[in-house]
Chain A
Amino acid sequence: MTYQEAAEHAFGQAVSFDPQILRSYDHDLGEMPRPLMALIQHRPHTVVVARSAADVATALSLAKRYDVPVTPRGQASAGYGGAIPSRGGMVLDLSNCNRILAVDADKNTVDVEPGVVWEDLSRALAPHGLDNRVCPTSAPSSTVGGWFAMGGVGIGSLRYGSIRDSVLEIDVAGLDGTIRTFAGADMEPFHQTCGGLGVITRLRLACRPAEAILPLAVRLPDAAAAARFLETLATTPAAYSASLVNAGYCALRAQAEGHRPAITSGFLVSIALLAPQADTAAIARLASDCGGEVLDDAVAAQEWEGRYYPMRIKKIGPSALVGEFFIPFEGFAATSADLTAALPDDAFGLEAFAVRGGKLAVLVYILDDAKALLYPLRMAKAMIPLRLAARHGGAPYATGMWFSALAKGIYGPDKYERIARLKTARDSRDLLNPGSIGGPWLPFLPIISLSRCILWGTACLAPLAARLSYTRRRATKHPGATA
């Protein structure tokens, strides 16, 4: 039986080799220049829509039998290239593995298939008096499995840490077609490794009691004051989530949405408090001690309601380069100042999530136009924020395919060694999401990692790129839009 016959036999209508179908699976959130994409086989030759753990196991054993690379994919809402094939092969679309398997209201846990969408999970937990502890701001579309495999922080991370801290147990399918359960430290290698060691088919999550949330908005005069404020806020029992944006971000969003910016200078911190324990007077005192002020309730409500729309500013881009990094609270002010100095002519917005343990996950949006001639060159700017942050104790946010060369720094040497050993044992032919751990390789020189070339290239080009500011071509709202 040929590979195609075997795949059709196993999956019937749920497998496709149609080029028109396949074209939808050759990209993720990131807008990479075409010449760069041309260096990898980004278009798969097969797509399988899995609807169960058994489908996943079947797809993986098929891949092993026919030596076909497999790239798992949730909603492809991450921008690190993890869900893009680097050697063609099969994309395993997991977004239809989306059943909620069991809720244990006594233990505050839920078992889910990997393709369950965060917002759907929140809705399904509500009747049980539970809610997600953490979720990304892409919660209306992104999947539980995708976020765990990608690693990240988001809403709720001030109280509950990263997604890793809320996952209790996982099932992972391997190339041999078996599914094994991992918990505790054994789970660690599957976190942040983008499916490079196996495909997650079930996750058990810890949930929080579904308490009402009270949003508050505070303006702080500068980055140092914002960091000081967050540091104390983190110790407040009612603190659930906190994120901040700079005035530049507010200005861009106001322009995109057609209203007046909430702040015109300093930083806007949006706080979500657990309502039953909230002490708003104490927060107001804290804000004032840091030289800030509590803003109108309407601003707070608007920020909380708009929490899933961080990329609205793209409307005036039309593209956005995104630089991301972790930074300890104490390094934030210096990094922020360096950024302003390094990108003097750019319209950039800064958004950050406070994370348990005293750090911030910072996103820097630099508006651009992916169609412009100089875009591939200006892309080097996306690495500037991480480089500046590194001077002040910063670290990379995630790996994926594009930043796999940073994996050691992200995982730490111990986890890195463990992953490397497991990779050899579980997937010696590098079929599981090839490129996500250590690769991908340059097509004409397959001993050099493309990810490393990107790091070198952007390091060399960044000074030049920083001088090439982008003039926006329009600043209007799309007429007719209802959102």
Chain B
Amino acid sequence: MSTQEQSPTARDAALAKMLAEAVDTCARCGFCKVSCPTYPFGGGFETFSPRAKVAFLKDYFEGRDVLTPEWVDRLYRCTTCERCQTVCQTAIPLVALWESVRADIVTKGLGPMPAHKKLRALAEKHGNPYGESASRQSQWLSPEHHPMEAADILIFGGCTASYRMPSMLQTGVTILTRLGVPYAYAGGEEHCCASPLLRTGQLDVAGELIGKNLDLFARTGARTLVTPCGGCSKTLKHDYPVWAEKLGKPFDVTVRHFSEVYVDLLRQGRIKPSVAVNKTVTFHDPCHVGRSQGLFDEPREILAAIPGIKLLEMPRCRESSRCCGAGGGVKANYPQMAAAIARERLDEAVATGADTLVTMCPFCQGSFSQAIKESEASIGLSGLEELLLASLRQ
């Protein structure tokens, strides 16, 4: 179990070599340790920190250590929030490392975690990890919405938004509708973007789902994919081009998170927020929107354009924003840890004195909505698009 050929080489030799070399450069500075949201949940022991995981992986790649069930568990206690990677002294692509090792773990039959296996089974059977039927995928569409058969823009709802937290998706599409921006929607045919499967190392089934979506995108002829979800937009932007090449399928589209679309519309003068929304808000940068896609200014530009909004920043914002705890399969398998991380972030939001916590990812919204309920915190929760819509004249 500890030999070179059992490291991630078989899957992607070049990537594995690069990562094995990258761990050599670790300066052991500990910047990643102090910024990791999951490290404190290992009882305060160094071993649960990204730095210790890198040290372990260095030994593992060099055949001096073995993957025990305890190490597998530790390697899955990571939300792939990218904070460690942002602060890394030697710029090690740590998230690629975590994901690559998880894939290796799965290949060897040592993982993933039980909840992740369930996600897989559901995704294989239903095309989404919630086990929902395809017929319910477009349930969020309201009578006001008029998707076209084909259009330049294809709305990619994403599973969490479509089945669990539809408000952002719904509102975003309402805004497009009211502005008369044409869009298509393939409700019922959309498959999970595969983010939860990629992040938990289940590449085979991820590849199948991605393949189906690539076929769908090609069929619709869309030029732009627009999604409200941080996880979907990250995956579509960063993983799909690689997989398209791997699968030999075309992927000639631009991917945009909804916030990018709003900013364009604002700059073009097509949206003119004019109704005052008198709220004092604080904005949570979702990891996979902010750090993964660099969308830090866009939400702030939108908030600044809405009359009546006062923004109070949390001390940890933008690149150093704290994770909501949901990503990387953590919420599925370690719900208590995920909830505690969300509560910590919620406390930061409450401490600003803002009356509303604003996000732009259904995943984060789900985490915070649960945290607010459980802790009875006196703060409201809103998607960015909801505020934007409220500021537009009917």
CB contact under 8 A between A482 and B291, given known A93-B45, A117-B34, A311-B89? yes
In the complex, 8 of the A-B residue pairs with CB atoms within 8 angstroms, ordered by the A residue number, are A20-B68, A20-B71, A23-B56, A256-B90, A314-B25, A478-B93, A480-B93, A482-B82
- Are A14 and B43 interface neighbours, CB within 8 A? yes
- Are B28 and A24 interface neighbours, CB within 8 A? no
Q: From B16-24, B122-130, B180-188, B190-198, give the one contacting chain A.
A: B16-24
A281 to chain B, nearest CB (A): 35
- Are A483 and B88 interface neighbours, CB within 8 A? yes
Q: From A1-9, A134-142, A203-211, A344-352, give the one contacting chain B.
A: A134-142
- Are B88 and A21 interface neighbours, CB within 8 A? no
B376 close to chain A: CB less than 8 A = no
A-B pairs, 6 with minimum CB distance: A141-B30, A480-B93, A481-B91, A318-B24, A49-B44, A24-B52
**CB proximity to A under 8 Å, residues B72-113:** 82, 85-93, 96
- Are A95 and B44 interface neighbours, CB within 8 A? yes
B199 close to chain A: CB less than 8 A = no
CB closest residue in chain A, given B40: A96
**CB proximity to A under 8 Å, residues B7-48:** 18, 21-22, 24-25, 27-31, 33-35, 43-47
Q: Among A257, A317, A474, A478, find the residue whose CB has the most chain B CB atoms closer than 10 A.
A: A478
B380 close to chain A: CB less than 8 A = no
In the assembled complex, the Cα of A75 lies from the Cα of B46 at a distance in Å of: 9
**Which of B30, B45, B68, B91 contacts A76, CB < 8 Å?**
B30
Q: From A25-33, A162-170, A289-297, A379-387, give the one contacting chain B.
A: A25-33
In the assembled complex, the Cα of A218 lies from the Cα of B305 at a distance in Å of: 41
B315 close to chain A: CB less than 8 A = yes
Q: Which residues of B contact A (CB under 8 A)?
A: 18, 21-22, 24-25, 27-31, 33-35, 43-47, 49, 52, 55-56, 62, 65, 68, 70-71, 82, 85-93, 96, 291, 315
- Are B34 and A314 interface neighbours, CB within 8 A? no
Across-interface contacts of B71 in A (CB, < 8 A): 20
Dominant secondary structure of chain A at its interface with chain B:
loop
A477 close to chain B: CB less than 8 A = yes
Across-interface contacts of B29 in A (CB, < 8 A): 29, 77, 138, 140-141, 311
- Are B34 and A141 interface neighbours, CB within 8 A? yes
- Are B87 and A483 interface neighbours, CB within 8 A? yes
- Are B315 and A481 interface neighbours, CB within 8 A? no
A452 close to chain B: CB less than 8 A = no
In the assembled complex, the Cα of A413 lies from the Cα of B315 at a distance in Å of: 47
CB contact under 8 A between A75 and B34, given known A20-B70, A93-B46, A482-B85? yes
CB closest residue in chain A, given B45: A21
CB closest residue in chain A, given B71: A20
Q: Among B24, B45, B49, find the residue whose CB has the most chain A CB atoms closer than 10 A.
A: B45
**Which of B44, B65, B70, B92 contacts A14, CB < 8 Å?**
B44
Across-interface contacts of B65 in A (CB, < 8 A): 23
In the assembled complex, the Cα of A369 lies from the Cα of B65 at a distance in Å of: 20
- Are B89 and A312 interface neighbours, CB within 8 A? yes
CB closest residue in chain B, given A316: B25
B240 to chain A, nearest CB (A): 15
CB contact under 8 A between A479 and B18, given known A24-B47, A95-B44, A309-B89? yes
Across-interface contacts of B55 in A (CB, < 8 A): 24, 27
Across-interface contacts of A24 in B (CB, < 8 A): 45-47, 49, 52, 55-56
Across-interface contacts of A25 in B (CB, < 8 A): 46
Across-interface contacts of A312 in B (CB, < 8 A): 89-91
**Which of B18, B70, B91 contacts A315, CB < 8 Å?**
B91
> What is the number of contacts between chain A and chain B, taking CB atoms within 8 Å?
119
CB closest residue in chain A, given B316: A123
- Are A75 and B33 interface neighbours, CB within 8 A? yes
B377 to chain A, nearest CB (A): 22
CB closest residue in chain A, given B94: A481
**Which of A120, A141, A481 contacts B93, CB < 8 Å?**
A481
CB contact under 8 A between A311 and B93, given known A20-B68, A21-B47? no
**Which of B24, B28, B91, B291 contacts A27, CB < 8 Å?**
B28
CB closest residue in chain A, given B65: A23
Contact with B along A75-94 (1 / 0, CB 8 A): 11100000000000000010
Across-interface contacts of B28 in A (CB, < 8 A): 27-29, 76-77
**Which of A21, A29, A95, A479 contacts B27, CB < 8 Å?**
A29
Q: Among A47, A312, A480, find the residue whose CB has the most chain B CB atoms closer than 10 A.
A: A480
Across-interface contacts of A478 in B (CB, < 8 A): 18, 22, 25, 91-93
Across-interface contacts of B27 in A (CB, < 8 A): 29, 311, 314
A16 close to chain B: CB less than 8 A = yes
A428 close to chain B: CB less than 8 A = no
Across-interface contacts of A49 in B (CB, < 8 A): 43-45
**CB proximity to B under 8 Å, residues A137-152:** 138, 140-142
A371 close to chain B: CB less than 8 A = yes
A370 close to chain B: CB less than 8 A = yes
A319 close to chain B: CB less than 8 A = yes
In the assembled complex, the Cα of A477 lies from the Cα of B28 at a distance in Å of: 19
Across-interface contacts of B18 in A (CB, < 8 A): 478-479
Across-interface contacts of A479 in B (CB, < 8 A): 18, 93
Given A138-B29, A318-B21, 14 other A-B residues pairs in contact with their CB atoms under 8 A: A14-B43, A24-B52, A24-B55, A29-B29, A93-B44, A140-B35, A141-B34, A315-B90, A318-B24, A370-B24, A474-B21, A481-B85, A483-B86, A483-B91
In the assembled complex, the Cα of A311 lies from the Cα of B55 at a distance in Å of: 17
**Which of A16, A51, A123, A315 contacts B315, CB < 8 Å?**
A123
In the assembled complex, the Cα of A96 lies from the Cα of B33 at a distance in Å of: 12
In the assembled complex, the Cα of A27 lies from the Cα of B55 at a distance in Å of: 10
**CB proximity to B under 8 Å, residues A307-327:** 308-309, 311-312, 314-315, 317-319
Across-interface contacts of A369 in B (CB, < 8 A): 24
- Are A482 and B86 interface neighbours, CB within 8 A? yes
A57 to chain B, nearest CB (A): 18
**CB proximity to B under 8 Å, residues A36-50:** 47, 49
CB contact under 8 A between A477 and B45, given known A141-B34, A314-B27, A482-B82? no
Across-interface contacts of A21 in B (CB, < 8 A): 45, 47
- Are B47 and A20 interface neighbours, CB within 8 A? yes
CB closest residue in chain B, given A47: B45
- Are B25 and A140 interface neighbours, CB within 8 A? no
Across-interface contacts of B87 in A (CB, < 8 A): 140, 483
CB closest residue in chain B, given A126: B315
B379 to chain A, nearest CB (A): 21
B11 to chain A, nearest CB (A): 16
**Which of A47, A311, A370 contacts B90, CB < 8 Å?**
A311
B372 to chain A, nearest CB (A): 26
Across-interface contacts of A14 in B (CB, < 8 A): 43-44
A10 to chain B, nearest CB (A): 15
Across-interface contacts of A138 in B (CB, < 8 A): 29-30
CB closest residue in chain B, given A481: B91
Across-interface contacts of B44 in A (CB, < 8 A): 14, 49, 51, 93, 95-96
In the assembled complex, the Cα of A75 lies from the Cα of B35 at a distance in Å of: 13
